[in-house]
Amino acid sequence: MSNFISKSMREVFSETMIEIAKKDERVIVIVADISHGLFKNFRKIFPSRYYNIGICEPSIVNLAAGLCKVGLIPFVHTIAPFLIQRSYEQIKLDFGYQNLNINLVSVGSSFDYSKLGCSHHCYEDVANLKHFKRSKIFIPGNSNELYKMILNNYQKKNINYFRLSEFQNKKPILKNGFVVKKGKDVTIVVLGHSLDLVLTASDKLEKDSINTEIIYFNQINNVDMKNLATSVKKTNKLICIEELSNKGGLFEDCLKELSEIKFRSDHLAITDFIHKYGTYKELASSAGFNVNNIVKKVKNLIK
Amino acid sequence: MNKDLRKKILEVVKRAKEGHIPSSFSIVDILDYLYANVINYSKSNPYKPDRDFFYLSKGHASVALFVVLNKYKLLTNSDLLSYGNLNSKLGGHPDMTKLKFVEASTGSLGHGFPTAIGTALGLKIKKIQSKVYVLVGDGECHEGTVWESANIASNNKLNNICAIVDWNKSASQLMPIENLKDKWKAFGWRVINMNGHSTISFKKNFDKFLNYNGKKPTVIIADTIKGKGSKLIEGHGIWHHKIPNENEYHNILKTIE
């Protein structure tokens, strides 16, 4: 299995689970009445290792701690707000405080369930989990990235959070903090599946002779950010684009990393509930995640 | 009724100025019986994969667990005496990262119980024949996660778990419509009633669990008295989290004699 470009992250998640479960009999999948169609094959191959427990997320997360006690490796899967926020105390106490290992896998990203309203949106999950020293937060921009992330990390003694999105970048970038494009005028730091939007904006900016350097992240919390300082020392300007709450995300980490450098900065993130229905693209655009707004922000920054 | 363990609880709490005495008195007889006769553990190998698991879900009664672990030499005297100190392994709620023979760091009510259910499921997955015991408070049964997990246990036929509800009537102080037995029954559990302070009753009822061949999870509703053992602190008054001064300590001690 190496190329998943045509597949959704959810499909790749379920296929990856079969691959690792074949090799590692400790792996158990628990879902809260979601993705059961996608896990049909998994359930067929490993009937005693798949549980669609029901709609009771805090108990499911807590139950996973009990599975850890007998040496199993649980994956708990449901929609982001219910997995992380409804179950936050369970993650904090049952895994953080007790040093147990869990793999949390969400779908829905920040507002993929755009027409379902704010109950199904989740912008603050990453900020919530960043509080735990042992949390590893994976925000893949592409299915191939997700596959590698799960494979390389699931068995490590961490609170692993894999945050799946419906939308993905055309090409995978397998290295966190990778300089996707070299430039001299402004550093754009971008998280996960917002990369393609930034690449389009960057092409537009090039036509106006604005040369952007783009650094891509698909993992946050205690990660290597050394390419960032090198870049911002050169450009003296930073704009961070992350489809997350404007507090507690990647921008905060950038500022910390760059504390000894003088630079101008701007931030595109989610400032409040996106209190609307509509398509994902319409919601994203209304929150500022559109090419014209990114172009405008960059131009303002380099004025 | 175990007087020595009660005296020890009183002494430990008074020295550290921390602990829940009546809640500990309520369950100490049950814990003593479990560790003496029911729970299969290995002193030399606390993490033996086929051990029985015990979870104290009502973590605020930690001192009862500590004095019982101490009685069966699973916890040293010096550890017990250090209770509440800065570098102690022991505190007002148990911590599994610090202490062997403690399976979960409980304290926030409604956490130990779902963990126990997960362990029972895990043992089934691994085809290990061990049992899981979990002690929950009746007040703790206000928590939604208790009922979510009760539902999970019966639907997954977890007949390897025995929950013990410390029915010391804390819950009904706030919510008089209790129907505890009916509720557990409605959630698909096999319900056993037990006197929570009588060894004869313990033997009879824990044997019922151990000899059970059906598919339901078992709950033993233990009829207990909060503060049992000292008339001075019995019931639901000021003593829930009160620390006795020297004078009060001696007065309570006298009532245990």
Q: Is the separation of the CB atoms in B180 and B170 below 8 Å?
A: no
pTM score of the predicted model: 0.97
Q: Measure A60 CA to nearest chain B CA, in Å.
A: 8
Report the distance separating Cα A42 and Cα A120, nearest Å. Answer: 26
Q: Measure B161 CA to nearest chain A CA, in Å.
A: 12
Q: Measure A20 CA to nearest chain B CA, in Å.
A: 17
Residue B96, CB-side half-sphere exposure with 13 Å CA sphere: 27
Give the pLDDT mean for B210-223: 98
- Whether A99 and chain B come into contact, CB under 8 Å, resolves to yes
* pLDDT score at A3: 63
Check whether A4 has a pLDDT greater than 70: no
* pLDDT score at A6: 79
* pLDDT score at A298: 98
- The answer to whether domain A178-302 has CATH 3.40.50.11540 is no
Report the distance separating Cα B88 and Cα B175, nearest Å. Answer: 37
Tens of pLDDT, residues A137-187: 999 999 999 999 999 999 999 999 999 999 999 999 999 999 999 999 999
Strand partners, A181: A214
Q: Measure A27 CA to nearest chain B CA, in Å.
A: 11
Tens of pLDDT, residues A63-114: 999 999 999 999 999 999 999 999 999 999 999 999 999 999 999 999 999 9
Q: Measure A146 CA to nearest chain B CA, in Å.
A: 27
**What ipTM goes with this model?**
0.96
User: Scanning every residue of chain A, which has its alpha carbon at the shortest distance from the alpha carbon of B103?
Assistant: A69
* pLDDT score at A2: 53
* pLDDT score at B229: 96
> What domains can be seen in chain B, in order of their start residue?
3-256 (3.40.50.970)
Using pLDDT thresholds of 50, 70 and 90, give the confidence band for residue B130: very high
The C-alpha angle with vertex B104 and arms to B178 and B48, in degrees rounded to 5, equals 125
Tens of pLDDT, residues A36-62: 899 999 999 999 999 999 999 999 999
Tell me how far CA of residue B122 lies from CA of A22, A74, A291, in angstroms: 18, 10, 49
Give the pLDDT mean for B114-125: 98
- Whether A56 and chain B come into contact, CB under 8 Å, resolves to yes
Q: Which of B83 and A221 is assigned the larger pLDDT?
A: B83
All structural domains of chain A with their residue ranges: 9-163, 178-302
Rg, chain B, Cα only = 17
* pLDDT score at A93: 98
Give the pLDDT mean for B167-172: 94
* pLDDT score at B1: 87
What is the share, in percent, of chain B residues with pLDDT greater than 90? 98
Question: Are A9-163 and A178-302 equal in CATH topology?
Answer: yes
User: Scanning every residue of chain B, which has its alpha carbon at the shortest distance from the alpha carbon of A26?
Assistant: B126
Indicate yes or no: CB of B118 within 8 angstroms of CB of A28. no
Indicate yes or no: CB of B111 within 8 angstroms of CB of A67. no
Tell me how far CA of residue B115 lies from CA of A93, B104, B150, in angstroms: 11, 8, 12
Give the pLDDT mean for B213-217: 98
- Whether A252 and chain B come into contact, CB under 8 Å, resolves to no
Q: Which residues of B touch A58 (CB under 8 A)?
A: 114, 144-145, 148
Using pLDDT thresholds of 50, 70 and 90, give the confidence band for residue B111: very high
- Whether A52 and chain B come into contact, CB under 8 Å, resolves to no
Tell me how far CA of residue A4 lies from CA of A77, A144, A159, A161, in angstroms: 20, 6, 25, 20
Rg, chain A, Cα only = 19
User: Scanning every residue of chain A, which has its alpha carbon at the shortest distance from the alpha carbon of B145?
Assistant: A59
Q: How many CB pairs under 8 A join A and B?
A: 97
Check whether A5 has a pLDDT greater than 70: no
Q: Which residues of A touch B161 (CB under 8 A)?
A: none
Indicate yes or no: CB of B123 within 8 angstroms of CB of A70. yes
Q: Which residues of B touch A89 (CB under 8 A)?
A: 108, 111
Q: Which residues of A touch B114 (CB under 8 A)?
A: 58-59, 62-63, 65-66, 90
| Alpha-helix residue ranges (DSSP H) falling in chain A | 9-23, 40-45, 57-68, 80, 88-90, 125-130, 143-153, 195-207, 226-235, 250-257, 280-286, 291-302
Indicate yes or no: CB of A98 within 8 angstroms of CB of B96. yes
User: Scanning every residue of chain B, which has its alpha carbon at the shortest distance from the alpha carbon of A50?
Assistant: B125
What would the DSSP string read from start to end of B51-102? S-EEEESSGGGHHHHHHHHHHTTSS-HHHHHTTTSTT-S--SS--TTT-TT-
- What CATH number labels A9-163? 3.40.50.970
Which phi and psi angles does A38 have, rounded to 5°?
-65, -25
Report the distance separating Cα A92 and Cα A247, nearest Å. Answer: 19
